[in-house]
Structure 1
Amino acid sequence: MTTPTRAAVVESGGAPFTLSDVELDAPGPGEALVRMVATGLCHTDLGVASGGLPFPLPGVLGHEGAGVVEAVGPDVTGVEPGDHVVLSFTSCGGCRNCRDGHPAYCATWLPLNLIGGRRADGTSTISRDGTPIGGHFFGQSSFAERALVDERSLVKVDPEVPLASIAPLGCGVQTGVGAVWNVLTPRVGSTLVVLGAGAVGLSAVMAAALTPAARIIAVDRVAERLALAEELGATHTVNAAEADLGEALAQLTDGQGADGVVETTGNVTVLRQGADVLAARGTLVVVGAPPFGTEVALDVNGLLPGKRIVGITLGDSETQTCIPALVQLVKEGRLPLHRLIGTYPFADIDQAVRDMNAGKTIKPVLTF
């Protein structure tokens, strides 16, 4: 039995999101049918919609979903109908990195999440007028009133917390938080620099404020975002549109450089500046993703004093542990995620895209 639902479909690269009637396959082994309550809009969705990645279009995107389980397929044990869930990325569960607690580095991550558009066995989860279209995006394709979701994408959460307030945890927030908590692990007195004060960067700032870091320096070109960064825990800010970044950071770190840098912009010039400002034994975490094939030049001798450059996907988080902890912090007011969110009815997805591209809304959340 297929399930009819309404989804935002991207017909071809660069086309807008258009609402369309589609059919979801019946939940198979390890899958659940979820009624969507909210879903975040992320730059990754926009990059795929633009045709920048080889995801099969027409297709349904969306990978920061939150909703209520309606039905489960065979062998699903972690959730049952009625459970509130946050949706995140999927993984195979059996490769070395999955078994080692690092599912974001799953051997099959790219086809399962970003570019495959189908289940691991090649079957389709979404069709329209009997013809399969791209789906299974991050194991969820949550730009729809209902989603067919991999069990490994599902995280059961506290039903007392409004789902629209925690939908972005599945990707953007988890990414920024994990860069700080899972990779940089600031010690007492550390200096951290966050390059870019969008949703991921501001999540990194909030995470850093919950550590013993002494200096948290946010960098952006938009004054309003820097003001918000200060309210969320940044001790200093640098407006890169007005100041030389290298000079400003040298001054703020007393010439010592930064112990940790989180690069969220995807701009290789900014990435290089982040590498240059590292202190001895400092670590640069690369979060922002430029187009495939992009390279950056580095001063090799500058790296020899123990400096590290580490790429990261989705915060290197183990979702079943990380996301419930973040939900608890949101519930207690210690992770003020609401400061980033602007909500839009699902039908207004194109307005949400425009506001996100214009910088009016840091983290649009579509509500159903």
Structure 2
Amino acid sequence: MKINAMLSYGAEEFVQEEILLGEIDCDEVLVKIKAVGICHTDIASTKSIYPFTYPVVLGHEGAGVVERVGSDVKHIIPGDHVVLIYSFCNSCENCLAGKPYICDEFYRLNTTGYSKSHTKKRLTLKNGEEVSNFFGQSSFAEYSIVSQQSLVKIDKDVPLEYLGPLACGIMTGFGSVIEKLKPNGGDSIAVFGCGAVGLSAIIASKIIGCAEIIAIDVNDSKLEFAKKFGATKTINSLKQNLIQEVQNIVSKGVHHVVESTGNPTIIQNALDITRLSGKVVVLSAVKKGLEVSVDFKSIQSERTLMGTIMGSVNPHTFIPRLIDWYKQGKLPLEELITFYKLEEINEAVNDLNEGKIVKAVLTI
């Protein structure tokens, strides 16, 4: 099957090409992609942070309509609206415990470029050269083949074009607060990095009822977005004294910190502004081998430093919760998202990098 897709060859710009998509297996589904979000992980993956080979079709925040299903597929039929999520084995101890985000096979299934069977790459160029798959979907394309377990069926009365980012960026930001940090109403929280993930953490903190929500970034335009979506205070850490500014707001330090920049030097800053017994959660796509150095005294005082993958949530149960918050007007997807056509992906990436927009979604 011939499809149009945006390919990465390991350079900054994506290239549009017509490629070939293989046939679905018995437990797979062919999805016509209607919209796909651009995540920081997609941008970072143009720079060899994962072990796949180039070229690759990136994209892992897809949403679309089911076009064809394999013979063993249950509960999903042609015409269903779906959000595409990551791949997982569905048989290891963590998957069976409802924690597919820490599947034993997570990195093999999502970042090596192969399909779930690990025997072939499903995408090829016209000359027969293999193209790597990404996160079990490669949704920067007109069509995607996805394992049935990696689909979340959604109601058709919800605008499909807004929902792809619920599968990664927004889910990760919300989950890091609601499922990982679990603040009480009235707690204080600081968020490093005000991209889509950080802003999602801010929105979640507002929903929970945190008393102080401090947004920290080096880009004033991103800090303005943070104010709009619920930050009670903002700090430009390039222009202001971070420690002093936080102490002026919360004298003993904050209860919780979300670190979404992926900058290892900021980890110590995050611990420094956290009160005794406070918690710091780190979430970002970084290259394997990146080292973090912290002062042991920072964590000896019962501060907790922890990581999360995909917000530590089960997407099959959490994405419906996100949709409920959207329906209630608590998750303003229309205000977070700016739409571009698939072929405008390079313009969208530039706007994201410059902080002009919060979340880019490509429509097809």
* TM-score, L = length of structure 2: 0.96
Distance (Å, rounded) in 2 between the aligned partners of 1:23 and 1:116: 15
Aligned residue runs from structure 1 range 1-368, under 5 A: 3-10=1-8, 12-14=9-11, 16-129=13-126, 131=128, 133-254=130-251, 256-368=252-364
SS in 2 for 1:149: strand
Distance (Å, rounded) in 1 between the aligned partners of 2:209 and 2:203: 12
Distance (Å, rounded) in 1 between the aligned partners of 2:203 and 2:270: 20
Please give the per-residue CA displacement for 1:28-55, whole angstroms capped at 9, x wherever unaligned: 1321000010000111111112333322
- Cα pair 2:55 2:132 within 8 Å, conserved: no
Distance (Å, rounded) in 2 between the aligned partners of 1:239 and 1:174: 26
- Cα pair 1:14 1:51 within 8 Å, conserved: no
Distance (Å, rounded) in 1 between the aligned partners of 2:230 and 2:352: 23
SS in 2 for 1:139: coil
- Cα pair 1:5 1:144 within 8 Å, conserved: yes
Equivalent residue letter for 1:322: F
Equivalent residue letter for 2:4: R
The structural deviation recorded for 1:289 is: 3.4
Distance (Å, rounded) in 1 between the aligned partners of 2:225 and 2:351: 18
The structural deviation recorded for 1:136 is: 3.3
- Cα pair 1:39 1:63 within 8 Å, conserved: yes
Same amino acid, percent of matched pairs:
39
- Cα pair 1:22 1:128 within 8 Å, conserved: yes
Please give the per-residue CA displacement for 1:68-104, whole angstroms capped at 9, x wherever unaligned: 0001113211311111111111111111111111111
The structural deviation recorded for 1:15 is: 5.4
Aligned length: 364
Please give the per-residue CA displacement for 1:244-290, whole angstroms capped at 9, x wherever unaligned: 11111122112x11111000011112121001222122110001233
The structural deviation recorded for 1:209 is: 0.7
- Cα pair 1:118 1:134 within 8 Å, conserved: no
Distance (Å, rounded) in 2 between the aligned partners of 1:324 and 1:95: 24
The structural deviation recorded for 1:122 is: 1.9
Distance (Å, rounded) in 2 between the aligned partners of 1:23 and 1:345: 21
Distance (Å, rounded) in 2 between the aligned partners of 1:108 and 1:116: 13
Distance (Å, rounded) in 1 between the aligned partners of 2:285 and 2:219: 20
The structural deviation recorded for 1:132 is: 5.0
Please give the per-residue CA displacement for 1:295-316, whole angstroms capped at 9, x wherever unaligned: 1211112212221111111111
Distance (Å, rounded) in 2 between the aligned partners of 1:347 and 1:294: 33
Distance (Å, rounded) in 2 between the aligned partners of 1:291 and 1:52: 5
Moved more, 104-113 or 22-31: 22-31
- Cα pair 2:66 2:79 within 8 Å, conserved: yes
The structural deviation recorded for 1:16 is: 2.4
SS in 1 for 2:189: strand
User: Which sections of structure 1, spanning at least 5 residues, go unmatched?
Assistant: none
- Cα pair 1:112 1:136 within 8 Å, conserved: no
Equivalent residue letter for 2:192: L
User: Which sections of structure 2, spanning at least 5 residues, go unmatched?
Assistant: none
